[in-house]
Structure 1
Amino acid sequence: MSNALPKKNVDHSFNQISNFELFQQLFQALNGQDLNALYTIKENNSLHQLVGLCRTESCYLELNLALQLVQEFNRRYLSEGLQRTTFFNDPNDVKRFLLAELSQRRRERFIALFLDNQHRLIQRRVLFKGTINAAQVYPREVVRAAIDLNAAAVIFAHNHPSGIAEPSDADRRITDRLINALSLIDIRVLDHFVVGDSEVISFAERGWV
């Protein structure tokens, strides 16, 4: 493996470099020219595998912190785009935010985006936290939160810590229960998103909402 690092694109888009080269550049930014610790890494590793090394190897602690800071910056940046002045007309905006918010988490989280009658964000709220493969969802608590916030509509989302976004039968059943419970107080469920490592699946796009 060559010690020479690839040159960055002038526009800093990094479109032409590999996952490993991107990882190298971030590593170099924190560690100068000391690339010895990289010699044990295979160049064909995915970014998820590379990030996984940062979480388990002590020599990558600074890099792991940097990655967490980048992830948090991305989450906050995308969150600002979903503030009260934003209309929820583009599901791709919501997907990008949810990937930053929920992907790579080791425990399941169930969140709701409560909206007003113009479909502007009132509040994002983590309603339930679970284990590595499940979170108990109670429709009564969801209804109570929606009433407290005077919401007119809601978008649900939860992550699959397995990294696989495909909705389960249980996901579909709880979504139907939530739709039925909220319809009694004239609150519409616009969508339910399931978030994996790199994919977000929309119930609405599949005709399930």
Structure 2
Amino acid sequence: MKDLPADARPREKLLARGAAALSDTELLALLLRTGTAGRGVLQMAHELLAAPVDGGFGGISGLLHAGAEDLKRIKGMGGSSKRAQLVAVMELARRAIGQQLKEREVFSSPGAVKQYLQLHLAAKPHEVFAVLFLDAQNRLIAMEELFRGTLTQTSVYPREVVQRALQREAASVVLAHNHPSGTVQPSRADEALTQTLKAALALVDVRVLDHVIVAQGNALSMAEKGLI
């Protein structure tokens, strides 16, 4: 980066124009700080954010789901320092959004709910079914990943969802799952599963407020679509 004009260097650009003026690659380069011999830090950042077919993680969303071991496959990321920094920043991002949901009524910030679920579920290679348990003020108590694999009415057990809702003393829930295929359109099985869980939870006076489907870079609220 020393070869770049001063006003084009990420650090100076950030201080002069604000973080929003930087690209994803430039922000990541600031975190990495240094590259390797013959390969600058901007190039390393670019390789991390590249599409999976090119050996990268598919952008910020994919990188947020990468573990310390996953990062090793990028040249220059074998050392523990850079990997620890990135994993720590990723976890801070998840916790920051989670804290927002615990401190305020969830649906005062519907966008934050989708972001939170995307950070946790969108990049997983297999389907995961999760539940956000909410208190009487619709604040987040906890999120739990309850089932994984191909999701059908028979692989998601309403009894277990009801048990966890009672254990968490939840007043309501938001259901969520990811579609590794990339589409967020609900299938008929998704709609049927939602109605099954809604009926089961109603027996113990727990409301289903939404069912959110997430994929890389996208999310759909079934409540917004009138499907709850």
> Given the two structures, how large is their TM-score scaled by the length of structure 1?
0.78
Counterparts of 2:113 and 2:168 in 1: how far apart (Å)? 20
Q: 1:36 aligns with which of 23, 35, 39?
A: 39
Deviation string, structure 1 residues 15-47 (Cα, Å, up to 9, x no partner): 3333443444344x1x2574516798797x893
**Conserved 8 A contact 2:71-2:78:** yes
Query: Residue 78 in 1 paired to residue 97 in 2?
Result: yes
What's the CA shift for 1:199?
1.5
Counterparts of 1:39 and 1:153 in 2: how far apart (Å)? 45
Counterparts of 2:18 and 2:78 in 1: how far apart (Å)? 26
Q: 1:193 aligns with which of 212, 216, 221?
A: 212
What's the CA shift for 1:86?
2.3
Deviation string, structure 1 residues 55-102 (Cα, Å, up to 9, x no partner): 63343335554433221111112111222x421232112122212222
Distance 1:121-1:26 versus aligned 2 partners, 3 A rule: closer
Q: Which structure 1 residue ranges, 4+ long, deviate > 6 Å from structure 2? A: 37-43
The residue type paired with residue 86 of structure 1 is R
Query: Residue 174 in 1 paired to residue 189 in 2?
Result: no
The residue that corresponds to 1:88 in the other structure is 106
Question: Equivalent pairs: percent with the same residue?
Answer: 35
Query: Residue 110 in 1 paired to residue 129 in 2?
Result: yes
Query: Residue 18 in 1 paired to residue 23 in 2?
Result: yes
**Conserved 8 A contact 1:191-1:203:** yes
Counterparts of 1:32 and 1:57 in 2: how far apart (Å)? 12
Query: Residue 51 in 1 paired to residue 57 in 2?
Result: yes
Counterparts of 1:88 and 1:76 in 2: how far apart (Å)? 15
What's the CA shift for 1:191?
0.4
**Conserved 8 A contact 1:165-1:197:** no
Q: 2:223 aligns with which of 199, 204, 208?
A: 204
**Conserved 8 A contact 2:122-2:216:** yes
Count of aligned pairs: 203
For structure 1, which runs of at least 5 residues remain unmatched after alignment?
A: none
What's the CA shift for 1:112?
1.0
**Conserved 8 A contact 1:111-1:126:** yes
- Partner of 1:140: helix, strand, or coil? helix
For structure 2, which runs of at least 5 residues remain unmatched after alignment?
A: 59-69
Deviation string, structure 1 residues 99-152 (Cα, Å, up to 9, x no partner): 22223223332211112222222332221233xx54731111111112222322
Larger helix proportion of the pair:
2
